[in-house]
Every structure is written in C-alpha cells, then in structure tokens.
Amino acid sequence: MFSLKPKQGGSAIPPAPPSQGHQGNWMKLAIVVCLILIAGVGYSSYTTRTTLEERIATLESQLESQLDDQIKSVREDASELASDIDVVTNRLGVTDKELTSARQFSERLRQQQEEAKLALETELATKAASSEVAANVAAVRQETTAKVAEVQQDAASKIGNVSGEVKTVAANLDATRLDLAESRREITDVRTTLSQQIARNASELAELRLKGDRDFFEFDIRKGKKDVMQRVADIQLEVRKTDQKKQKYDVMIAVDDAKLEKKDRTANEPVQFLVGRDKLRYEIVVNFVDKDRIRGYVSAPKDKVLAAERPTFRD
C-alpha cells in the first residue's frame, strides 16, 4: 500500500523485511478500527447529548408551565383572600356602627331613668306637702260613706215593701191562673182501670146498662178527612188509623178546645181519660176494628158530682 521512494541524491532505503510489512498492515487496521470506534463514541456522545438537551428543554418547559399554573393559583387565592378581607372589614364596620347605636340607646335610657327618678321625687315631695289636703279628703270620704249607708238602708226598706207587693201580685196571678184553668174544660189521660167489666158486644152492653151506674153511647165512625171530628155524647172522636189484621187503631179525642191522641190501641181495650175541672172519668171501648172504621161505645158517669175525681166547692 505504501511505497518509499528514495530521495534524489540519497541512498535508497532498503526494503523492509516481510515480517515488518505484515506488522504495518496490522497497525493500519488497528488505527482504522480505533478511528471507527472514536467516531462511534463521538456519535454516541453527540446523540446522548442531543437527547439530554431535548429532555432538559422538555423538563424546563414543563417546569415553566407548572410554575405558571402555581403562580396563577396563588394569584387567585390571593384575590379571594383579599375579597374575604374586604368582607370581614365591612362586617367589622357594621359591628362598630351597631355598638355605637347600642351605646347611644343605653345613654338615652340612663337619661330617661334619671328624669323619671327626678319626677318621682318631685311627686313625693308634693304629696308630702299636701298631707293636710289628704286629711280633708279622708273626712269627706267618711262623710260620704255614712250618707251612702243611709241611702242604702232607705233603699233596702223600700225594696222590701216592693218585694211584698210583688209577692202579693204573684199570689193573685197564681189564683187568676187557677181560675182560668178551672174555667176551661180539661181532658187528661188515665192509666188505671175503671172497671173489670167491659162490654164486648151488644148483649154485654145491655147488661151494663141495666146496672144503671153509667151512661153508654154507641158509635160507628169511619175515617174521613183530617181534623174532621164526629160527636159522640158530649165529646168528639176522629179515626186516625186502623189495622184490621191486628185489630189496632189510633183515635183523636176532643172535648171543647182540648185534644188527646190515643195511638196503637187494641179492640176491647178500655181507653180512659179525665174530663173537665171536676175530673170526670170517661171511657172508650172499641169492639170492632174494620178498614178505616171503628165501632164501640163511650161510657160516661151519670152523676157528675159523685163521679168527680177532684170534688170542687163552688160558691
């Protein structure tokens, strides 16, 4: 590969021995390999440096971004803190105003209490100075009380007289009421039995007539218009309702302006009542109950005086 030419004018260099040529080739090869290794190491170093610089740039960018975010968050927190500080400051200002108002109100109350105390002391002094007037007032009050007692006593006596007159009028009124009651004929229901014997048919009614104790008046009444009465002896009767199957009936009895209604009565059941101020005992016996029709008799005392339940003494 390399040749060594002899310089002009000099002696020629003798050729190297064959062993030395082989050693030169190995040296060249070693140098080339070293150069390649050096180039590889340099390239590797360059690549590593470039990668490292890129990573450092990326880290610096990320760090700057994080710093920017943190700075922004810190600024926002600082802004909120400033707002809170303003609010607290405003509230403290309101509290100061309220405290000032409370102090002023307390001062006004103290002044009012002082004024009331002075007024009370003045009033007490005035009353103490007018004790003589109070004594005069007490005397007048005592005199007035005595006069009132006298007037009350006089009024009580007059009220007693009026009460006596009222009682007299009440007694007269009661007497008048009794007279009015006696002047009207009464009709009263009677629950007791007049006699154990009643007439269930015409023959039994004839037997009762033979005894001569009472008067018997037969009737045959049909149901008509309401409030239409039919006279039997000295009373009036009106059929209100009949039940032929059960032999029951309702009847209205009238004597003058008094009325008595008998309901749910049975055939051959004596219906008794007192009439008038002498309390005369009358009796109705219905022997037959037909459809809208009753037949029977009325029993009345013959002697009005002896038959009276409540004898009366007339002038």
| Tens-digit pLDDT profile for residues 115-129 | 888 887 787 777 666
Report whether 255 contacts 235 (CB < 8 A): yes
On whether both 290 and 191 belong to a single domain, the answer is yes
Q: Could you tell me the pLDDT band of residue 183, with boundaries at 50, 70 and 90?
A: very low
Q: What's residue 252's pLDDT?
A: 93
Give a yes or no: residue 95 inside a domain.
Answer: yes
Separation CA 242–CA 126 (nearest Å): 97
Q: Could you tell me the pLDDT band of residue 52, with boundaries at 50, 70 and 90?
A: confident
Give a yes or no: residue 307 inside a domain.
Answer: no
Q: In this structure, what token pair is assigned to residue 183?
A: 């002047």
On whether both 117 and 205 belong to a single domain, the answer is no
Q: Could you list the residue range(s) of the whole structural domain that residue 123 is in?
A: 24-129
On whether both 165 and 220 belong to a single domain, the answer is no
Residue 254: CB atoms within 10 Å:
17
Give a yes or no: residue 254 inside a domain.
Answer: yes
The CA-atom distances, in angstroms, between 131 and each of 27, 292, 313 are 151, 98, 79
Which amino acid is it at 134? A
On whether both 150 and 235 belong to a single domain, the answer is no
On whether both 231 and 169 belong to a single domain, the answer is no
On whether both 60 and 120 belong to a single domain, the answer is yes
Separation CA 298–CA 16 (nearest Å): 194
Q: What's residue 315's pLDDT?
A: 44
Report whether 299 contacts 213 (CB < 8 A): no
On whether both 251 and 231 belong to a single domain, the answer is yes
Give a yes or no: residue 7 inside a domain.
Answer: no
Q: What is the CA radius of gyration of the chain?
A: 73
Q: Could you tell me the pLDDT band of residue 24, with boundaries at 50, 70 and 90?
A: confident
On whether both 174 and 215 belong to a single domain, the answer is no
Give a yes or no: residue 15 inside a domain.
Answer: no
Give a yes or no: residue 6 inside a domain.
Answer: no
Task: Tell me the β-bridge partners of 264.
Answer: none
Q: Among residues of the chain, what percentage have pLDDT more than 90?
A: 20
Report whether 233 contacts 300 (CB < 8 A): yes
Q: Is the dihedral of CA 173, 175, 180, 184 positive or negative?
A: positive
Residue 235: CB atoms within 10 Å:
20
Instruction: Look at residues 215, 212, 211, 237 and name the one whose alpha carbon lies nearest to residue 295.
Output: 237
- The CATH number given to whatever domain includes residue 220 is 2.60.98
Give a yes or no: residue 90 inside a domain.
Answer: yes
Q: Could you tell me the pLDDT band of residue 198, with boundaries at 50, 70 and 90?
A: confident
On whether both 156 and 248 belong to a single domain, the answer is no
On whether both 297 and 193 belong to a single domain, the answer is yes
pLDDT greater than 80 at residue 88: no
On whether both 125 and 28 belong to a single domain, the answer is yes
